[in-house]
């Protein structure tokens, strides 16, 4: 007998936080999500790209034992669908005669009923899939799931130029379900929706976009899964930065499938989104790598204050230790501001003076340095003494050091190797200085969802009002050797994010000599950035995965 096509299909979107390499843990998450979907009456559960492996698995895919373990886990899940509950679409690497594929398996009735392979492998920015995967050998056709012809393009298959969605429509698909591993950057939700709308127009089909959640090294996956109806309207919108299993109801009309029921979450504005991305990235890096606590230097400056707030919000006050390490140039205001910040956040606060270790270094080098003038070398000894103390605390108590340099400083090399660059993770690595200020002000007025920190003013206004300074010499401010941060940040964004030429940047009103100087500082600091701790990606082009400039580089734009 031919199975009658249903008029209603309840699709659960599992927007979850897998861990790369934790196959048993990811399988357990899938089981819990399927049980929850069954409780809500779902017919089908859509998981995200490479869910069983975690995303991106990078060179783990080159390990045959890893790929085999992923498939074995999916087949265990397939057997469990014999219970008559919802079917499953789940992402996994698969080794077949044609190579190792970024694939999905469709599970129902106790077995694997279909496999589909990603055709368009991304090879730009943070993506490097052509290195480890083989593209699907042919364009995918629809899968018959309980009488409904479902197209399953995988992530880049709807972003690229291979017309995968249009091909699926032409071959009989009625609805497209897309598993994704799409990482966050500012404004990405709108970008995704525009990509999907274009594909809806091309294919004439509704599209469900399921996106992964969670931090993986420098990437943060923000969820925000959604669907677009065939008429280009928003069918449903899931929350951003939160795990969820949402059941959506789709009804067949004469011509198309229409979503009649689903969540409509509000997507955060930019400062909230950036803050929550930094918080999620830090929390997952610490927890997934097994650290119990974190420690950071709290200087009384804006960068360390924001990092302290993020750490307390992500982990809770009992897991955060802040250490003030004063020297002769540390102002009374900075001592007061650091203590006030730690007290407002409720975290442990210690004072460890660095006078003796710095003087010890200077004495040890005294004969070698005799006859030379004091300068940046002696300033850097202060930073390196602080870095050594933080690493000692880390070694003694098992705490991960949170490093606190912002993108403006890292761009122009205003950071000390083996000093303030010491650490395991940097939550503000991809925030320019003015963005740091904006997030501080936002946090003083809001407590983000899932934050474990207190409400109210957690970053003293006096920190935000004073001139930024490393306090490595008398009366020092950043502006002694750098242009004002609004000017510097704009030039850097032009150079880094937009790859603009000097003439174009000058046309925006910037001094030509200053642009040349900033460009030079950017290039010569590459060696430092290569040794920096990982940190959350917030912009379209972070230092690391997105921007791979050579260290040895004589090019300068002579415009």
Which of 29, 70, 71, 118 does the annotation list as catalytic? 118
Q: How far apart are CA 76 and CA 9, in angstroms?
A: 25
CA distances from 234 to 175, 201, 210, 374 (A): 15, 13, 14, 63
Cβ atoms within 10 Å of 390's Cβ, excluding its own: 25
Residue 49 annotated among the catalytic residues of the structure: yes
Residue 118 annotated among the catalytic residues of the structure: yes
User: What's the number of CA atoms in the CB half-sphere (13 Å) around residue 20?
Assistant: 18
Residue 155 annotated among the catalytic residues of the structure: yes
Residue 128 DSSP class: -
Token pair 């399927």 is found at 34
Q: Is 507 helix (H, G, I), strand (E, B) or coil?
A: helix
User: What's the number of CA atoms in the CB half-sphere (13 Å) around residue 429?
Assistant: 29
Which of 29, 70, 115, 155 does the annotation list as catalytic? 155
Question: Which residues, other chains included, contact 366 with Cβ-Cβ below 8 Å and sequence gap of 6+?
Answer: none
3 state SS for 246-312 = EEEEEEECCCCEEEEECCECCCCCHHHHHHHHHHHHHHHHHHHCCCCCEEEECCCCHHHHHHHHHHH
Report the candidate in 321, 316, 291, 282 with the shortest Cα–Cα distance to residue 534: 282
Report the candidate in 125, 218, 180, 182 with the shortest Cα–Cα distance to residue 540: 125
Which of 29, 49, 341, 493 does the annotation list as catalytic? 49
Distance, CA of 110 to chain centre: 36
User: Which tokens go with 70?
Assistant: 């992923």
Report the candidate in 11, 55, 50 with the shortest Cα–Cα distance to residue 34: 11
Based on DSSP, count helices (H) and strands (E) in the chain, helices before strands. Answer: 17, 19
> Where in the sequence numbering do the catalytic residues fall?
49, 118, 155
């Amino acid at each position: 007998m031919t199975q009658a096509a249903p008029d209603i299909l309840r699709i659960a979107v599992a927007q979850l936080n897998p861990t790369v390499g934790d196959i048993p843990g990811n399988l357990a998450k899938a089981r819990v999500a399927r049980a929850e979907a069954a409780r809500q009456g779902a017919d089908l559960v859509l998981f995200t790209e490479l869910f069983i492996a975690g995303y991106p698995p990078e060179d783990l895919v080159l390990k045959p034992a890893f790929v085999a373990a992923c498939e074995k886990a999916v087949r265990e899940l397939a057997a469990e669908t014999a219970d008559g509950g919802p079917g499953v679409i789940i992402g996994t690497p698969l080794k077949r005669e044609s190579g190792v594929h970024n694939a999905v398996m469709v599970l129902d009735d106790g077995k694997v009923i279909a496999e589909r392979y990603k055709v368009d492998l991304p090879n730009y920015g943070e993506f490097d899939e052509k290195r480890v995967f083989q593209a699907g050998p042919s364009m995918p056709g629809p899968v018959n799931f309980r009488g409904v012809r479902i197209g399953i393009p995988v992530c880049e298959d709807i972003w690229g130029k291979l017309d995968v969605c249009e091909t699926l429509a032409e071959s009989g698909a009625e609805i497209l379900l897309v598993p994704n591993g799409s990482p966050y950057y500012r404004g990405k939700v709108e970008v995704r929706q525009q990509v999907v709308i274009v594909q809806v127009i091309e294919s004439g089909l509704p599209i469900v976009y399921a996106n992964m959640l969670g931090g993986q090294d420098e990437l943060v996956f923000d969820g925000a899964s959604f669907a677009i109806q065939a008429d280009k309207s928003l069918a449903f919108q899931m929350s951003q930065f939160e795990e969820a299993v949402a059941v959506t109801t789709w009804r067949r009309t004469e011509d198309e499938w229409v979503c009649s029921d689903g969540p409509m979450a509000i997507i955060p504005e930019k400062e909230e989104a950036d803050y929550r991305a930094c918080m999620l990235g830090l929390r997952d890096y610490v927890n997934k790598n097994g650290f119990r606590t974190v420690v950071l230097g709290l200087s009384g400056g804006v960068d360390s204050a924001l990092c302290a707030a993020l750490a307390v919000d992500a982990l809770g006050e009992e897991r955060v230790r802040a250490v003030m390490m004063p020297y002769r140039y540390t102002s009374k205001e900075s001592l007061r501001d650091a203590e006030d910040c730690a007290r407002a956040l409720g975290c442990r606060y210690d004072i460890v003076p660095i006078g003796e270790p710095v003087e010890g270094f200077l004495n040890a080098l005294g004969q070698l340095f005799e006859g030379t003038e004091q300068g940046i070398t002696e300033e850097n000894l202060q930073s390196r003494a602080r870095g050594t103390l933080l690493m000692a605390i880390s070694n003694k108590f098992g705490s991960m050091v949170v490093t606190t340099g912002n993108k403006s400083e890292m761009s122009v090399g205003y950071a000390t190797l083996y000093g303030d660059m010491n650490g395991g993770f940097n939550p503000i690595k991809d925030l320019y200085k003015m963005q740091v200020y904006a997030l501080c002000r936002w946090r003083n007025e809001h407590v983000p969802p899932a934050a474990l920190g207190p409400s109210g003013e957690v970053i003293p206004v006096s920190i935000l009002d004073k001139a930024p300074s490393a306090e490595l010499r008398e009366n020092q401010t950043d502006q002694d050797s750098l242009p004002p941060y609004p000017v510097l940040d704009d030039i850097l964004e032009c150079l880094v994010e937009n790859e603009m030429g000097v003439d174009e940047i000058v046309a925006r009103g910037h001094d030509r000599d200053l642009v040349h100087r900033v460009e030079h500082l950017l290039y010569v600091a590459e060696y430092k950035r290569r040794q920096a701790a990982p940190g959350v990606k917030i912009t379209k082009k972070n230092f690391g995965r997105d921007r791979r400039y050579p260290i040895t580089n004589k090019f300068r734009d002579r415009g």
